[in-house]
Amino acid sequence: MPAPLDPPPLQLPAPVPGAAPPVAEPPFVSRRKGRLTLEFVPGEVQSQMDLADPYRLVLAYARAMMCFVLFKPAPAHIVMVGLGGGSLAKFCHRYLPEARITVLELSADVIALRERFAVPPDSERFRVIHADAASHMRRLAGSADVLLVDGFDASGLPPTLGTASFYADCRRALRPDGLLVANIFSYDPNYGAMDRRLHHAFDGNVCQFRGIAGNNRILFALRPARTGGGGPTRAQRLVQRVGLCGALWPGLAPFNWLLAHWVVGRLRQRGVT
């Protein structure tokens, strides 16, 4: 049996008798230079919206995460962990009109801001659920084609969204040939451990485009399908290729940021319904 991948729990100081539990700081919204910005900590941007073009993906990491369409061009069900300012949610809702979208968001304060960021209302194909993804994920077994994990708060990525058990639940939530896309900061002290857990949970079927979004490391993990004698699927071939050279083709890693722009631009050119 392999050694446990999770570190031992931190030993926190005992609570002071009678003291109130800590309260998470609510997010706040600021407007400057034609953009609406969501922050938990002043100066640390969680999400941005271009007021002149609300569906444009302003931040590089969001464009990088949309590269999932290279692996899964027509997902039927997209599950997102973290709503934030809704950039990815409303982009997918508008430019992937055949997809059903479920968003899991822990913070009621974040959900309360959805109208300010032009997040669409709940409907048959779009739903925001107030839930802790770490516990809710196991309810979604076998239901998602794409799973986007971007659930940051004021302290960064919550530890519960990087455990071996969470990644195992994510794998079970995916259909065969389903794809997990995880956004992790390169300077997160637990980055190496989370990367190893993800590789372990997905049997090494993990890749990333090198240098595509600065300090945001965007990891793509595939739950392989059993293809019998039909050979590897499109997604399997791409994971293998990108895993070898960090790009679609050898030598193109320095241009990955352009690839992300191209992917997003191509989706927008398709038009809207």
Q: Which of these is catalytic: 150, 153, 169, 177?
A: 150
Q: Give dist(CA 233, CA 74) in Å, integer.
A: 14
Asked whether the beta carbons of 114 and 83 are under 8 A apart, the reply is: yes
Produce one character per residue of 210-221: b if its CB has 16 or more CB atoms within 10 Å, e if not.
Answer: eebbeebbbbbb
Q: Examine the residue annotation and report whether 150 is marked as an active-site residue of this protein.
A: yes
Beta strands 28-32; 144-149: pairing state:
unpaired
Q: Which two tokens stand for residue 8?
A: 């031992």
Q: Supply the DSSP string of 32-73, one letter for each residue.
A: ETTEEEEEEETTEEEEEEETTBTTS--SHHHHHHTTHHHH-S
Beta strands 35-41; 100-105: pairing state:
unpaired
Produce one character per residue of 236-247: b if its CB has 16 or more CB atoms within 10 Å, e if not.
Answer: bebbeebeeebb
Q: Which two tokens stand for residue 28?
A: 């706040």
Q: Give dist(CA 230, CA 232) in Å, integer.
A: 7
Q: Give dist(CA 213, CA 33) in Å, integer.
A: 22
> Which residues does the annotation mark as catalytic?
150
